[in-house]
Amino acid sequence: MKKHLSGQIAIMLVSLVLGLMLATQFKNVQNVGGNVSLQRAQELTSQIQKLTQDISSQDDIITGLEQRISEYENAALDEGKLNDTIYKDLERSRVLAGLVELEGPGVIVTVNVVPVNDWAGEQTIVRNVYHDDLLMLVNELNAAGAEAISINNERLVATTEIRNAGDYIVINTNRYSVPYEIKALGNPDTLEASLKLLGGVADTLGEELEIKIRHEDKIRLPKYNGPLQYQYALPVQ
Amino acid sequence: MKVTKGIWSITIICIFFGFFTVRFFDNQRSIVEIGEVTSIKTIEYLLKHKKLLEEKKQELDDRMIEKESAISNFEDVAAQKNIIGQEMQQKLSDVRSMAGLLPLEGPGIEIQLNDRKRDTILSNNPSIIQYYIVHDSDMLNVINELRSVGAEAIAVNGTRIMATSRISCGGPTINVGKYGRFAPPFIIQAIGDPEALQASFQSSDSIYHDLIAWGLEFHIKQVSNIQIPRYLGDADYTYARSIKEGE
């Protein structure tokens, strides 16, 4: 009788432990099935955001296209008018491509080196201006809604590079050196405020370079003078 | 006596069974390595929402193509009637390509940029984690380097990069252009001479070496045909006014 009892207790204990293990494991597995990583949700949210933005801007574009089509339809009967419509279209694209001079309010930022005397009393500079500095300034102006930008009379277009080459900086394949003059069209207050943000670009660069920002009601921006032809890229048919 | 012996063998078998059960489930669990979690319902909702939007976008894409081809039909007719010459038509296409108004295709490269994978070094240095992630300035430099070797059109995660596209920090994401907001991995596509584009990252002052040194992922792939979408965004100037030739 006593032996029988101890056997039952042993089985009970084993079953208890096994039961607990199974319960814990099932709970874990359930967790995995029921929950998903937050990263996946963030990814989806950002994809949805992008789609929503694309859709709203596409709506605008389609409205614009419809307007152009009606212009064409009105002009279709009249050859001279058709010519005008196409010419107007070309002009509009030329403005967007940076092939037309622009004028408007904005800011002019001049970037120059700061002269100092070194240990021997000889004149030198704190440091030269590098392409990162100009890239940062241009990017900040873009973020503040600049409509068009030029550096030392090189209009910045979609393919414009700003790259170090020794003591020079190459912009649109032409070489430039200090001082650099960045002209940006847009809301002058917004443009200036974005640069002069506490700890912003002007503060950061201002420690080692001379940064001057001034408003102007009428700034004239040059047009892009580089090559127009594409060698590799073709319009998608 | 015999009964007790049987019980002990059952006990041993049960212990083994229990052990292997745990091992089995444990193996399964380790495949699904999850950090912070959210409910599966949220994901289902997001997926449904995304699908709806994708359908809408497809519809708009089709309409846009339809309208654009209607316009190019008008231009074709005009060209046939010799109102505008072939030259003018070519010029229109060139200028529109530059203005970002046409989707472009051609040979080029595709770069995949991603944060460093979680590993022992990363978890030991939480204070300097900033060196191990892709920053807006890194992307700006990559794009600038592509431009300097003659990239003709560039897109980041399907967003065409224009002259006024900003690339700025948005906390865990990078903002690209007016509307785009992306989390890693970032796909940068560029049309141009594939060899030249790839070779630019071999030059000693390239950002490539910095990023690789910190263990970030930077994969470059030559592609024989890349399609880059048109620029989506408003094209109206509020402040800038165009000046006619000779004004």
Distance from CA of A141 to the nearest CA of B (A): 8
* Strand ranges across the sheet with A174-176: A162-165, A168-171, A174-176
Contact state of A41 with B34 under an 8 Å Cβ cutoff: no
What mean pLDDT do residues B187-201 have? 92
Instruction: Check residue B64 and give left, alpha or beta (phi > 0: left; psi -120 to 50: alpha).
Output: alpha
Query: Mutate which of B25, B135, B239 to disrupt the A interface (most A C-beta within 10 Å)?
Result: B239
Q: Which two tokens stand for residue A61?
A: 């574009």
Rounded to an integer, what is the distance from CA B73 to the centroid of its chain? 34
Contact state of B99 with A100 under an 8 Å Cβ cutoff: no
Write down the pLDDT at residue B36.
55
Write down the pLDDT at residue A43.
77
Which among B26, B97, B166 has CB closest to A142? Answer: B166
Query: What CA–CA distance (Å, rounded) separates B60 from B179?
Result: 18
pLDDT-based confidence at A28, cuts 50/70/90?
low
Cis check for the bond before A179: say yes or no (omega within 30 of 0).
Answer: yes
pLDDT-based confidence at A3, cuts 50/70/90?
low
pLDDT tens track for B121-141: 666 666 677 778 888 889 999
Pairwise pLDDT comparison (B80 vs B51), residue with the higher score = B51
Write down the pLDDT at residue A221.
93
Query: What CA–CA distance (Å, rounded) separates B193 from B150?
Result: 8
Specify the range with the lowest mean pLDDT, choosing from A171-185, A198-212, B23-37: B23-37
Query: Mutate which of A49, A54, A164 to disrupt the B interface (most B C-beta within 10 Å)?
Result: A54
Write down the pLDDT at residue B212.
86
Contacting B residues, span 179-208, partner chain A, CB-CB under 8 Å:
179-183, 191-193, 205
Q: Which two tokens stand for residue B60?
A: 């708009």
pLDDT score of B30 more than 50: no
Query: What CA–CA distance (Å, rounded) separates B161 from B144?
Result: 11
- Of A181, A200, A205, the C-alpha closest to A128 is A205
pLDDT score of B32 more than 60: no
pLDDT-based confidence at A93, cuts 50/70/90?
confident
Rounded to an integer, what is the distance from CA A108 to the centroid of its chain? 21
Q: Which two tokens stand for residue B127?
A: 């204070």
> What HEC string does B130-157 produce?
HHHCCCHHHHHHHHHHHHHCCCCEEEEC
A-B Cβ pairs (cutoff 8 Å, strict): 320
- Measured between CB atoms, does A104 come within 8 Å of chain B? yes
State the pTM of this model.
0.74
Angstrom distances, CA of residue A200 to CA of A15, A135, A137, B103, B116: 67, 14, 10, 36, 27
Average per-residue pLDDT in chain A? 84
Query: What CA–CA distance (Å, rounded) separates A79 from A77?
Result: 6
What mean pLDDT do residues B208-228 have? 89
Write down the pLDDT at residue B163.
87
Helices (H), chain A: 2-34, 38-75, 79-97, 131-143, 188-195, 201-206
pLDDT tens track for B66-95: 888 888 787 777 777 666 677 777 888 888
Pairwise pLDDT comparison (B13 vs A133), residue with the higher score = A133
Write down the pLDDT at residue B84.
63
Q: Which two tokens stand for residue A203?
A: 């503060």
Write down the pLDDT at residue A18.
81
pLDDT tens track for B201-215: 888 888 888 888 888
Tokens 């002209």 sit on residue: A183
Pairwise pLDDT comparison (B61 vs B108), residue with the higher score = B108
Write down the pLDDT at residue A140.
92
Phi, psi of A235 (to 5 degrees): -60, 140
- Measured between CB atoms, does B85 come within 8 Å of chain A? no
Query: What CA–CA distance (Å, rounded) separates A152 from A166?
Result: 18
pLDDT score of A110 more than 80: yes
Distance from CA of A117 to the nearest CA of B (A): 29
Chain B: residue whose CA lies nearest to A70: B71
Write down the pLDDT at residue B142.
93
Q: How many C-beta neighbours within 10 Å does residue B147 have?
A: 23
Q: Determine contact, residues B191/B108, Cβ cutoff 8 Å.
A: yes
Pairwise pLDDT comparison (B221 vs B80), residue with the higher score = B221
Write down the pLDDT at residue A78.
72
Helices (H), A76-183: 79-97, 131-143
Percent residues over pLDDT 90 in chain B: 20
- Which of A109-118, A120-129, A177-186, B157-166 has the largest mean confidence? A177-186
Pairwise pLDDT comparison (B56 vs B82), residue with the higher score = B56
pLDDT tens track for A29-88: 555 545 566 777 777 887 888 788 888 888 888 888 888 888 777 776 677 777 777 788
What mean pLDDT do residues B2-23 have? 75
Distance from CA of A196 to the nearest CA of B (A): 16
pLDDT score of A219 more than 50: yes
Name the DSSP letter for residue B117: P
Domain segments of chain A: what residues? 42-97, 103-221
Write down the pLDDT at residue B101.
85
CATH architecture, domain defined by A103-221: 2-Layer Sandwich (3.30)
pLDDT score of B34 more than 60: no
Phi, psi of B59 (to 5 degrees): -60, -45
pLDDT score of B35 more than 70: no
pLDDT score of A112 more than 80: yes
- Of A80, A78, A92, A203, the C-alpha closest to A140 is A203
Alpha carbon dihedral A192, A198, A201, A204, in 10-degree steps, equals: 140
Write down the pLDDT at residue B31.
46
Rounded to an integer, what is the distance from CA A124 to the centroid of its chain? 35
- Of B214, B197, B102, the C-alpha closest to B143 is B197
pLDDT tens track for A147-169: 999 999 899 999 899 998 888 99
